[in-house]
């Protein structure tokens, strides 16, 4: 059986924690999209791990992790990350595999990534990790894949400076390189976790284009980027925060604004530690956008939702969520493609009474205060999707599971 874990917002939803939680009962964890632009934080036994390329399951001894075919890999960054993990006591040897179809990021792409954002008509606010350039070269059929490192004729024809960068990695990664489809097909009877990066609204096709990343971050990407056919994806979980954040530029319909919301943005940013793991940038913050969440439920066909960061609201008298859009004086209940329309949105807000108590020690749904349950029930009804996992803190144990995800239903 396998489960795909997908971001339902603009990334940073807490997928790392949820993958880490589910990974305890998993045999293999596969990252299927993106590259070192991602930043997944995992807290285990009071140690904080920051992951960018390596799938979150690595923290458990003996778990196998795979960097999938849909990824774009900066080998230098990957070995730096492995070395930090080793310093933190994680034994990674023999457990990390790389798809031979994944594309490689070269150092010059990172510079070009930053430069092109400066001259773009609509600057994205890229993380500058070379992601957009690598995916552009992939689509232009000019990319360099892991398999190409071992194709002597192709490899010898590469520019000298590219070879100088790649040479030391050829032997070093060779024991890690696999045919991912073969590797996973033979293990379909085991438990496989497909780890998403970024989020639905940063997806190249279904996100807020052009203010998106360049990979396929929706559930369909789990199939594309892992090489497991769509019929074999058994369960899809959508992870979202009790509020919204986005890093970089682009429309954000429910973003807090000081005139309407006072210091709410600062409060949520501080309580939720909303600073980028990859760039350290303060994240833009806003109300939970249920119009966008419903859209994410449809585009990903989530089997269930996972709510994180609900504890950020513990001391609030009242909390609000965006339940509709007003655009040019008209009520709109769907998530538009047009950036112009999204920029004009006035969020229609609905308020809920707060629970004024700490959720951090709740371990079952029944232990949650009534007002938290009502907020959860409203989201389930609005999106038509069950909420089966609720995270009430950063630690693994601070997780409420309403239904075992590995049981087929």
Binding site for ligand IMP (CB under 6 A): 10-12, 37-39, 124-127, 129, 131-132, 197-198, 202, 213, 247-248
Can you give the length of the chain in residues? 409
Q: What is the 3-state secondary structure (H, E, C) of 157-189?
A: CCCHHHHHHHHHHHHHHHHHEECHHHHHHCCCC
CA 75 to chain CA mean position, Å: 20
CB atoms within 10 A of CB 267: 16
Could you give the 3-state DSSP secondary structure of residue 275? strand
For residue 248, which of 124, 122, 118 has the smallest C-alpha distance?
A: 124
Q: Which residue among 12, 113, 203, 289 is the active-site one?
A: 12
Beta carbon nearer to ligand IMP, 111 or 315 = 111
Beta carbon nearer to ligand IMP, 2 or 9 = 9
Beta carbon nearer to ligand IMP, 238 or 303 = 238
Could you give the 3-state DSSP secondary structure of residue 2? strand
Min separation Cβ 124 and ligand IMP, Å: 5
Beta carbon nearer to ligand IMP, 9 or 95 = 9
For residue 42, which of 10, 81, 14 has the smallest C-alpha distance?
A: 14
Beta carbon nearer to ligand IMP, 130 or 336 = 130
Reply yes or no: is the peptide bond before residue 210 cis, omega within 30 of 0.
yes
Question: For this structure, is 52 an active site residue?
Answer: no
Min separation Cβ 149 and ligand IMP, Å: 24
CB atoms within 10 A of CB 230: 10
Shortest-Cβ-distance residue relative to ligand IMP: 248
Min separation Cβ 379 and ligand IMP, Å: 22
Q: Which residue among 20, 40, 234, 289 is the active-site one?
A: 40
Min separation Cβ 275 and ligand IMP, Å: 11
CA angle 50, 100, 228 (to 5 degrees): 80
Min separation Cβ 126 and ligand IMP, Å: 3
Report how far residue 294's alpha carbon sits from residue 35's, in angstroms, rounded to the nearest whole number.
27
Contact 204, 72 (CB under 8 A): no
Question: For this structure, is 40 an active site residue?
Answer: yes
Catalytic site residues? 12, 40
């Amino acid at each position: 059986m396998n489960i795909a874990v997908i971001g339902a917002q603009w990334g940073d939803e807490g997928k790392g924690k949820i993958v880490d939680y589910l990974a305890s009962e998993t045999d293999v964890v596969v990252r299927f999209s993106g590259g070192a632009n991602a930043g997944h934080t995992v807290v285990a036994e009071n140690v904080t791990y920051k992951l960018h390329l390596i799938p979150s399951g690595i923290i458990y001894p003996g778990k196998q992790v795979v960097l999938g075919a849909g990824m774009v890999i900066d080998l230098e960054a990957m070995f730096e990350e492995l070395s930090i993990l080793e310093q933190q006591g994680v034994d990674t040897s023999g457990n990390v595999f790389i798809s031979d179809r994944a594309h490689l990021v070269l150092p010059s792409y990172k510079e070009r990534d930053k430069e092109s954002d400066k001259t773009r008509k609509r600057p994205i606010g890229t993380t500058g990790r070379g992601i957009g350039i690598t995916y552009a070269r992939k689509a232009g059929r000019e990319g360099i894949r892991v398999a190409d490192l071992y194709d002597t004729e192709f490899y010898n024809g590469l520019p000298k400076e590219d070879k100088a960068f790649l040479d030391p990695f050829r032997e070093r990664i060779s024991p890690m390189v696999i045919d991912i489809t073969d590797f996973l097909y033979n293990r379909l009877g085991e438990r496989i976790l497909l780890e998403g990066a970024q989020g639905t609204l940063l997806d190249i096709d279904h996100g807020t284009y052009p203010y998106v990343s360049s990979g396929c971050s929706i559930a369909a990407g789990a199939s594309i980027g892992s090489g497991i056919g769509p019929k074999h994806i058994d369960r899809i979980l959508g992870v979202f925060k009790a509020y919204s954040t986005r890093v970089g530029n682009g429309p954000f319909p429910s973003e807090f604004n000081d005139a309407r919301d006072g210091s709410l943005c600062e409060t949520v940013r501080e309580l939720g530690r909303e600073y980028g793991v990859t760039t350290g940038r303060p994240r833009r913050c806003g109300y939970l956008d249920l119009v966008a969440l419903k859209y994410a439920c449809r585009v990903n066909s989530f089997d269930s939702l996972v709510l994180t960061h609900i504890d950020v609201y513990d001391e609030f008298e009242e909390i609000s969520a965006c339940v509709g859009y007003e655009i040019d004086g008209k009520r709109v209940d769907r998530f538009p493609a047009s950036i112009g329309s999204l920029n004009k949105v006035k969020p229609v807000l609905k308020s809920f009474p707060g629970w004024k108590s700490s959720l951090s020690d709740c371990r079952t749904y029944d232990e949650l205060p009534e007002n938290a349950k009502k907020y959860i029930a409203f989201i389930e009804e609005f999106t038509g999707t069950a909420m089966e996992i609720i995270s009430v803190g950063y630690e693994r144990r601070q997780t409420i599971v309403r239904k075992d995800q590995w049981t087929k239903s």
